[in-house]
Amino acid sequence: MKYKILVTGANGNLGKNFLLSNTDYQVCAVVRSEKAKDDLMSFVNQNNIQNTEVVNCNYLDLPSLKKLAKPCRYFVHLVGTIKENQQNKFDFVHGKTTEAVLEAIKDTGIEKSCYISILGSNETSNNRCFASRGLAEKAFLDSEIPCLILQVPMVLGKDDYASLALKKNALSKIALTFRKASLEQPIYANDIIEVIKKDIKRSLLRPESTDGIRALAGPTALTREKLIHEVAKIIGVRVRVISLPITLGYAIAKLLEFVSSNPPVTKDMLEVLDHDDNIDPTASSHELGIKLTSLEVTLKNIFI
C-alpha cells in the first residue's frame, strides 16, 4: 500500500512538478476553484500521471479538508503569492488559509508538513508580503505537527512565470529592468522537489528528518543584469540591459494600485522582486541531502 500525501496549492508550477516526479506515493492534490481543478486534471491526464486525486475544496472548510487529510501521512503547503489584489489579500492567502489548513490537519494521519516560503520572510517586515509569510512560518512552527520550512528565492522551472519573464527580457534587443544590480540567486525547481521527496521519505521511514526553517538557494548569486545576459547566451542572442531607478517603479506601482483593484504590479511585489538574495546554501543543501544544480545546467535545462 502506498502512503498518501496531501498537497495544497497543487495547481502551481511547483505542485505540477511534484506530481510529474512522483511515483512512490498516492497524492491528494487540493485546489480551491473549479477552474484550477479542471486545469490540473487536464495536466494530470495529458501527462498520464498516476495515483493522483484532484479535489476542489475551500481551504476554510475545515470538516471537508480534515476528511481529505485523515488518510494522509505528509502535508505539502504550496499556497502563496507575491502579488496582492482585492480577491487575494496577503492576510487571507498567507494568514487565514495557513491557520485553517493547520487546524484541519490536526488529529489526522499527517506526521509532518512542509511549507515553501520565500527568502526575506520576516513577521516584523514593513513589506506586507514578507510579513505575512513570516507569520505563516510562525504558525507552522507553533503547530503540533513537526514541519520543514524552506525559504527560497527566485525559482526557475520549465515554462514557469520567472523563466518566461527572463526569456522575454533576453529576447528583447533592449531589456528595461528596475535596478539591474539587484542580486538574484535562482534555484532550480527540481531541486526543491527533490528536497520535498527526500524529506517525505526520511519522515515516513522514521529516521531523523530536518525540522524548522532552512534557507535554500541556487549555488550562484549574480546581478539581474548578468542573469539576463546568461539566459541570452544560452538562447543564442544578444541583449542590452538598461537599468531604471527602483523609485520610479515604486511610484508607478502606487499609481496602479490607486487606479486598479487588480494592478499588474504592486509596491510590495516590487520590493520582493528587488530583494538582494545572496546566501551560502552549502550547509542547508548538505543537511537536506541534495546536490544543488548549477546555474549553467539549470538554464540549459530550461531554455534549450
- Which residue has better confidence, 206 or 10? 10
Q: At what angle do helices 295-303 and 161-171 cross, to 10 degrees?
A: 80
Domain count, the chain: 1
Mean pLDDT throughout 64-87? 94
Residue 163 forms part of a structural domain: no
Residue 300 forms part of a structural domain: no
Mean pLDDT throughout 272-291? 96
Question: What's the CATH number where 32 sits?
Answer: 3.40.50.720
| pLDDT (tens digit per residue) in 14-24 | 999 999 999 89
Q: CA dihedral in degrees (291, 151, 39, 30; nearest 10)?
A: 110
CB atoms within 10 A of CB 111: 16
In degrees, to the nearest 5, what angle opens at C-alpha 20 toward C-alphas 156 and 296?
A: 30
One-letter amino acid of 205: L
3-state class (DSSP) for residue 84: coil
Stretch among 107-121, 199-213, 274-288 having the lowest mean pLDDT: 199-213
Residue 164 forms part of a structural domain: no
Residue 283 forms part of a structural domain: yes
| pLDDT (tens digit per residue) in 175-229 | 999 999 999 999 999 999 999 999 999 998 866 788 999 999 999 999 999 999 9
One-letter amino acid of 179: R
Which residue's entry shows cell 479538508?
Answer: 65
2 pLDDT band (50/70/90 cuts)?
Answer: confident
Residue 71 forms part of a structural domain: yes
Residue 75 forms part of a structural domain: yes
Residue 130 forms part of a structural domain: yes
Q: Give the structural domain span for 34.
A: 4-157+187-218+277-292
Residue 241 forms part of a structural domain: no
The residue among 155, 177, 157 whose CA lies nearest residue 168 is 177
